[in-house]
Chains A and B, each alone.
Chain A
Amino acid sequence: MSPQRNTPSHGDSGLQPERTDLAWGRTTLSLVVAAATFLRWMPHHGWFVGTLVAAATLTAVAIEVNRKHRLHRSIQGINQETMYPDIASTAAVSAAVVTLAALGTYVVLFLPIHG
């Protein structure tokens, strides 16, 4: 995400808000790559894999939608020298990855390859 005109400024020389924002961006990209590799399964394992593609894509979209809010929140945190940890985001992303891996394991073990 490029800096917006209405993005507040901060005095952190360590550029923590920007680095954290980019870390979320890289995570989005990783989710898109995971969704793309799941696509490769669809011809072999059937329609069920479509739910995995959708789940990975939706998680990526959810992160992207909240990114500006998260950046502003961290800038605000730096400026006010206090910030409550974003427990909902970390728990949600972790749960999404665990779900994807569990469903992926289910596909490999129980959905036969056809075609």
Chain B
Amino acid sequence: MEEDLAASHSRVRSGISVRLLGGGTEPDPRFTLANERTFLAWIRTSLALLAGGVAVEAFMADFFGPELRKTIAVLLLVLSLSIGGGSFVRWLNVERSMRRKTPLPLPLIAPILAVAAVFVATVMVVFVIVRPS
């Protein structure tokens, strides 16, 4: 077991991962696992936005005009892309900060998600109010 762990350590520690993680010492493994779960929660948020964007394009043909449908779908998909990529950056920044025992960075993806979600919801509300019945 210990040999396996040592072998896998030397494998993953080589090359790019060392440079990405920087120096410092290994944090408590519970914190590493907590960071991983938080990353996965962000990834699932991104996947939900992805499925939402696909669903708007696929199911809303009778409700929205083609231009509005395309706009909302693209907004949700671009948001999904930003959150999906940003979640790795967030995970890496937290991991680096834990290794250096510095205060954890604030999540940039949280305000991005909040602002974009409010924007998409506002577009929908305005559309529902002004659309001809």
Contact = CB atoms under 8 A, between A and B. Distances in A.
Interface string B19-42: 011000010111011111101110
A: contact size bracket: 35 or more
Main secondary structure of the interface of A (DSSP, over half): helix
A76 interface: yes
Contacts of A108: 53, 57, 70, 73-74, 77
Interface in B22-81: 26, 28-30, 32-37, 39-41, 43-44, 46-48, 50-51, 53-55, 57-59, 70, 73-74, 77-78, 80-81
B36 A86 contact: yes
A20 B37 contact: yes
Interface stretch (B1-9, B100-108, B113-121, B123-131): B1-9
Interface string A57-83: 000000000000000011011101111
A23 B32 contact: no
11 contacts: A17-B33, A23-B37, A23-B40, A26-B44, A30-B48, A37-B54, A40-B55, A83-B26, A86-B36, A90-B39, A101-B50
Contacts of B78: 101, 105
Interface of B: 1-2, 4-5, 8-9, 12-13, 17, 20-21, 26, 28-30, 32-37, 39-41, 43-44, 46-48, 50-51, 53-55, 57-59, 70, 73-74, 77-78, 80-81, 84-85, 87-88, 91-92, 95
Contact of A44 (B5, B39, B58, B87): B58
Interface of A: 12, 14, 16-17, 19-20, 23-24, 26-27, 30-31, 33-34, 37-38, 40-41, 44, 73-74, 76-78, 80-88, 90-91, 93-95, 97-98, 100-102, 104-105, 108-109
A87 B51 contact: no
Contacts of A80: 2, 5, 29
Given A23-B36, A81-B28, A98-B84, 4 more contacts: A26-B44, A30-B43, A83-B32, A101-B81
Nearest to B38: A23
A26 B41 CA distance: 9
B40 A82 contact: no
